Amino acid sequence: MTAIDRLVDLYQIGGPVIALLLAMSVAALAIVLAKLGQALLTRSHRLSHARAAVRAFTAGDIDQAGAWVRGSRNPAGQLTARAIEGLQNADMDEARLREDIARLGQDQLRDLRRGLRPLELIASLAPLLGLLGTVLGMIEAFQALEQTDNGSDPAVLSAGIWQALSTTAVGLAVAIPAVAAATWLEARVQHLGEEMDSLITELFTRRPARLDQRSS
């Protein structure tokens, strides 16, 4: 039996509810793959260059610090580069620089979180749709049982029950990976936000003495 045959059988068992759940599973998979591709493209999980830039900057090697993050596609690297550039500008107001960096960081995190809400919605709705399909299937099973000659054929009832429960199983099969993926992706974004906040705080509080004197 091919995969298409299995999908047809599932649709015949669960009807439109199964079709909707399968569509949601495809959407969830597409979101997860898109977010993984975004992470690989931006290298958001790699913080080594940003950390090296902060160490070099606080040690007074400003040129080397800039070299570590210059042209970086990593959100933390871009934020660090912006902070280093601003701190070297004697005419830059520190309060405005902090606001600018905070806004840039929020934009980056918002972009990384884009798509997680739909994934969380799929994870929440999938088991409920599965349960709805089960309830509808149970209603059909009892209606079929009522239409039998004696109204108490256990074979008719058991066949209807297992078909009805299949929608709940499919709903859970869609929801569980979606919940795991959404939680993992959100945790990565939250960790990145905390790391960026720590790096920027260190840049401002441990800047080289000559920059402090120039800004005062």
Q: What is the pLDDT of residue 128?
A: 93
Domain limits for position 71: 3-215
SS3 206: coil
Q: What is the pLDDT of residue 187?
A: 94
**Closest residue by Cα to residue 197 from 113, 112, 98, 114:** 98
Q: What is the pLDDT of residue 30?
A: 96
Q: What is the pLDDT of residue 186?
A: 94
Q: Which DSSP string do the residues of 40-94 spell out, in sequence order?
A: HHHTTT--HHHHHHHHHHHTT-HHHHHHHHTT--SHHHHHHHHHHHHHH-TTS-H
Q: Is 0.75 surpassed by the pTM of this model? A: yes
Per-residue pLDDT of the chain (216 residues; tens, 9 = 90+): 565 555 556 556 657 888 889 899 999 999 999 999 998 888 888 888 889 999 988 888 888 888 888 888 889 888 998 988 888 877 778 888 899 999 999 999 999 999 899 999 999 999 999 888 888 777 777 776 666 655 555 655 565 676 778 888 889 999 999 999 999 999 999 999 999 999 999 888 887 765 655 554
| Total of domains in the chain | 1
- The C-alpha atoms of residue 55 and residue 2 are separated, in whole angstroms, by 57
Q: Per the structure block, which two tokens stand in for 89?
A: 């500008």
Rg (CA), the chain: 27
